[in-house]
Structure 1
Amino acid sequence: MEEFKLFNAEYKFLDIIWGLEPINSTELTKVCMKELGWKKPTTYTMIRKLTQRGVLKNENATVTTLIRRDQVQKYESEALLEKAFDGSLPAFLTTFLQDKKLSKQESEEIRKMIEEATK
């Protein structure tokens, strides 16, 4: 499996880009200052780091992502499942749903997902 392990700050940064891409790097520094409190050098350092890792593309001062949000979410959720629950989805769901009440709609959506996954 391809690795998309991101630190929290990297994920927040990518979240901004996913919502605005393609985005001019100068505009991105302004958004990061407002949203994350980052100074311009911090944003440019993050662009450089993530470009070197193959996560971003920065061409002609236009920044775009090379990975999708759902790819990162899939990797992160699988890593959590493996690390904290020895890969056991039932153990994860038991812990996650403890003390929670699902709506009828949520319950039905989960039921449909399980049925699709078992086909």
Structure 2
Amino acid sequence: MKENQISPAEWEIMRVVWTTHPITSTEIYNILQEKTNWKLPTTKTLIGRLVKKGMLTTQTKGRKYEYSPAVTEKQSIKETTDALLEQVCSTKVGQTIEVMLENSVLSQDDLASLEQLIEEKKKTAPEVVACNCTPGQCDCRHEGGK
């Protein structure tokens, strides 16, 4: 896992901080209490990891620490999806996105944005995407690069 990648538990913390900041560890704990069975020390450990990874900034307010995001949610989503797609053969990226779409609930506005993006991508899309794998990592080279 890259230093800037975060675990599912850390995502839970970040989602709270992106929504409400600055925020204390106790406030984060209280918000997540219904969804998780974490104790306050667990929440503080996860926050500490996120600070160390450069995902959160800390400011002292009296005897408390307040946390704010050091990166945007959009930036984090992009880094996470980029990391996922780097693990997949370049010829399988379309299939990967297709699976993501099939398993997602999307609004009409989301679909309209995707349709517009697809129309733009069509203007510069190659006929065939070349495999970027090391020999032995996939079998697409044996299928004529498809």
Query: What is the TM-score normalised by the length of structure 2?
Result: 0.62
Aligned residues: 117
Aligned partners of 1:62, 1:99: CA distance in 2, in Å? Answer: 36
| Corresponding residue for residue 49 of structure 2 | 49
SS class of match (1:45): helix
Aligned partners of 2:5, 2:99: CA distance in 1, in Å? Answer: 23
- Bigger radius of gyration among the two: 2
Please provide the CA RMSD for this pair.
3.2
| Corresponding residue for residue 84 of structure 1 | 88
Query: Is the CA contact (8 Å cut-off) linking 1:85 and 1:91 kept in structure 2?
Result: no
Report the alpha carbon displacement of residue 109 of structure 1 after superposing the two structures with TM. Answer: 2.9
| Corresponding residue for residue 116 of structure 2 | 112
| Corresponding residue for residue 15 of structure 1 | 15
Letter matched to residue 87 of structure 2: K
Q: Give the gaps of 5 or more residues in structure 1.
A: none
Report the alpha carbon displacement of residue 55 of structure 1 after superposing the two structures with TM. Answer: 1.0
Query: What is the TM-score normalised by the length of structure 1?
Result: 0.74
Distance 1:90 1:57, change over 3 A: same
| Corresponding residue for residue 141 of structure 2 | none
Report the alpha carbon displacement of residue 3 of structure 1 after superposing the two structures with TM. Answer: 5.9
Distance 1:35 1:98, change over 3 A: closer
Deviations 1:39-66 (A, max 9, x none): 1111111121211121111211111110
Structure with more contact order per residue of length (Cα contacts < 8 Å, sep ≥ 6): 1
Aligned pairs (5 A) from 1:63-82: 63-82=67-86
Aligned partners of 1:104, 1:20: CA distance in 2, in Å? Answer: 27
